[in-house]
Structure 1
Amino acid sequence: MNNKHNEMDYIIQLCACANLRKAARIVTQAYEKQMQSTGLKVTQYYMLVNIARHKEISISKLGEIMLLDQTTITRNVHILKKSGYVNITKDKNDSRTKSISITDIGLIKLEEATPIWLQIQQKVENGMGEEKYKDLLETLINLQKSIE
């Protein structure tokens, strides 16, 4: 019995997936609390940034960039459309593909939300220290590559 208990403790303490998910939830909650006044979830903010960066992007390409399934992308894009932040049109070259572009209202929302995002981002970086933060990013990239 004691051996099984020790094995379970070992799994709980060292599971990369569980620990990363837990850390991701804590970080996400902190970003979303800070960004609450904008009405944007951190995922929606990140979507707007990507849409603005690409000018016009397909739902599937946005999903690839953000590593989110099509259902999650579509649901959030429709929320952004309902708020007037994005336009959804049929692709000029392929009528089956939907293209997303940011509206002027969406750009204004980004201008409002970005300083708030920068504040929480700075808090995270300062809390860890610049070197540790850079190491964390490098470690996360290496982890992704090692599993792919």
Structure 2
Amino acid sequence: MKNLDNELDFIIQTCACANIRKAARIVTQVYEKQMASTGLKITQYYMLVNIARHREISISKLGDIMLLDQSTITRNVNILKKDGYVNITRDKNDSRTKFVSITEMGLSKIEEATPIWLELQEKAEHELGKKTYNDLLEKLQRLQQSME
């Protein structure tokens, strides 16, 4: 039994997936709390930024970029549309394909939320140090690529 307990402790302490998910949940909670005044969740902010960056993007391409399934993307895009931040149009050649574009209200919402996002980014960089922070981002990207 002692050996099993040691193995279980090892799994709990070293599981890449569990530890990354735990860290992601904690970081997400901090971002969500700080961004609450904007009415946006961090996922919605990131989604708006991606839509603005691409000007017009299909829902499936947005899902690929954000690594979210179609139903999650559609649900969040519909919330953003209801709030007036995005427009949804259908492809003229394929009515099954929907495109999302940012509105002026959406751009204003990004301008409102970005200072909060920047403050949180700067805090993360400050806490870890710029080099360690950049190393972390690089390692996370390498881990993602290695798991694909």
* TM superposition score normalised by structure 1: 0.98
Deviation at 1:92, TM superposition (A): 2.7
* Structure 2 match to 1:4: 4
Partner of 1:94, secondary structure, is coil
Aligned match of 1:66? 66
How many angstroms apart in 2 are the aligned matches of 1:126 and 1:94? 48
Structure 1: distance between partners of 2:62 and 2:92: 17
Measure how far apart 1:144 and its partner are. Answer: 1.0
Task: Give the stretch that moved more between structures: 138-147 or 12-21.
Answer: 138-147
Shift in Å, 1:147: 1.2
**How far off its partner does 1:124 sit?**
0.7
Cα deviation per residue 1:8-67 (whole Å; 9 max; x = unaligned)? 000000000000000000111111111010000000000000000000001000000000
- Which amino acid is 2:140 matched to? L
Tell me how far apart the structure 1 counterparts of residues 36 and 121 of structure 2 sit (CA, whole Å): 15
Shift of the alpha carbon at 1:94?
1.9
CA RMSD, 1 decimal: 0.7
Where does structure 1 lack aligned partners over 5 or more consecutive residues? none
Structure 1 CA distance for aligned equivalents of residues 29 and 62 of structure 2? 23
Aligned counterparts of 2:8 and 2:69: Cα–Cα separation in 1 = 32
Q: Secondary structure at the match of 2:21?
A: helix
Q: List structure 1 segments (4+ residues) > 4 angstroms apart after TM superposition.
A: none
Work out the CA distance in 1 between the residues paired with 2:62 and 2:19.
Answer: 27
Q: Secondary structure at the match of 1:88?
A: strand
Sequence identity (%):
74
Q: Which amino acid aligns with 2:51?
A: I
User: Structure 1 residue 96: deviation in Å?
Assistant: 1.3
Deviations 1:82-119 (A, max 9, x none): 10000011013322100000111111111100111101
Matched, 1:85 2:71: no
